[in-house]
Amino acid sequence: MERRSFLTRTGAGAGVGAALLAAPAITHAQPAVRWRCTTGVPRALDTFFDTTTDAAQRISDATGGRFQMSVAPVGEIVPMPQAVEAVVGGVVEAAHVYAAWYTGLDPTWAFGTAIPFGMNTRLMNAWWYKGGGGAMFNDWLRPRGVQYILAGNTTMQMGGWFRREVRTLADVRGLRFRIAGIGGNIWHAAGAVPQMIPAADIFPALERGTIDAVEFTGPHDEEKLGFHRVARFYYYPSFWSGNGGLGFLVNLRAWEALPAEYRHIFTAAAHEANLMMVARQDSLNAAALRRLIAGGTQLRVFPMPLLRTFHDHATRIYTELNAANADFRRFYDHYTRFQREGAGWLRIGEDSFNNMMSELQRPRAAGAGEQRRPS
């Protein structure tokens, strides 16, 4: 008990508090700043939208309300496809977007979010912040007059909602699947027919059967969109989104006009968004998945032989992209080199723990003791 006694004292010693008074208050002028930020989602997609408004709140809090960023849902200022143009042209100071939405402009944009069979969330952060990936991406963006500050992650996305099971390549052929980007190219190569449908039109299209399947993000968002009411099979993993990084695309002229403290505070808010969106996703997705399964959703894992086929198509598509686009190739080489070493580490330093925990959840065979061998 003696060792604990000091913990029961509530009061603090004389040293603390004095720190604040030791130096005179310095009067310091900080300008009032108003920014506008467009996002790529409606308010209802709260894991994304609230991440944006939380960041704006943190910026306001840290500046005593002097730096205000107003947040507009998709379409209020510009539609999602025009968000890059709006930041480049200075219509808004910032946009909160998935870089991968803009692979139609240049596939190199994908490296700001994820590429198929690419990094998971841990690796993306390691590459982006400590492996040179983020600096490389912003060097690439600089001539466009913008930068991209990573600020959120959906984490691995689910494979999507399917009206019928996908067991072999025969089930893929002709499948009308709502999916975009390089992932869509891979499904197309395997015989599917990728569909681009605005988010608001997905549910009716899936309900009427004009599409067979849709991928979006994860359980919490998708439960809100009601996909489980019109498609029974919920597949995983999305080999095309091992993570789903999003970020603030910021106009560089507006950025450079900010006081240095505000730039640091904005960056800190983006980093917080990246940490907190993952925590929020995990908390909400866990609860949503439980409800979905209780409601009759059938979980399905894509069969490994099919995943190998998709992987073969991906390899060929990367060869083509690398041959056609020198920027893409430079990123691809850098990214995959980091991924190889990093994934090797995480298999040892992370997956081993998770797989052990998973194994411990399984019922033990009757009569098996310490020396039981894995069956």
Residues within window 119-138 making contact with a copy of itself, judged by CB under 8 A = 120-123, 125-131
Interaction of residue 20 with a copy of itself, rule CB under 8 A = yes
Per the structure block, which two tokens stand in for 251?
A: 């106009």
Instruction: Provide the mask over 298-337, with x wherever binding to a copy of itself is found by CB under 8 A and - wherever it is not.
Output: -x-x--xxxxxx-x--------------------------
Per the structure block, which two tokens stand in for 197?
A: 């449908």
Instruction: Give whole-number Cα distances, 372 to 13, 214, 311, 359, 369, in Å.
Output: 57, 43, 36, 13, 5
Of 8, 196, 366, 367, the residue at the interface with a copy of itself (CB under 8 A) is: 8
Interaction of residue 286 with a copy of itself, rule CB under 8 A = yes
Task: Give the position of tokens 């944009």.
Answer: 109
Interaction of residue 349 with a copy of itself, rule CB under 8 A = yes
Interaction of residue 196 with a copy of itself, rule CB under 8 A = no
Which letter, b or e, does each residue of 86-108 get, where b requires 16 or more Cβ atoms within 10 Å of its Cβ?
A: bbbeebbbbbbbbbbbbbeeebb
Of 24, 296, 363, 367, the residue at the interface with a copy of itself (CB under 8 A) is: 24
Could you tell me which stretch among 72-80, 140-148, 191-199, 207-215 binds a copy of itself (CB under 8 A)?
140-148
Question: What does residue 110 show for φ and ψ, rounded to 5 degrees?
Answer: -55, -30
Which H or E element spans position 124? helix 121-125
CA-to-CA distance for 369 and 312, rounded, in angstroms? 42
| Contact set for a copy of itself, span 213-272 (CB under 8 A) | 218-219, 236-239, 242, 251-254, 257-258, 260-261, 264-265, 268-269, 271-272
Instruction: Write down the least CB distance from residue 209 to a copy of itself, Å.
Output: 26
Of 44, 200, 287, 323, the residue at the interface with a copy of itself (CB under 8 A) is: 287
Of 357, 363, 366, 367, the residue at the interface with a copy of itself (CB under 8 A) is: 357
Q: Which is nearer to a copy of itself, 34 or 164 (CB)?
A: 34
β-partners of residue 97 are 247
Sequence-distant (6+) residues with CB within 8 A of 321 are 107, 182, 328, 329, 332
Interaction of residue 283 with a copy of itself, rule CB under 8 A = yes
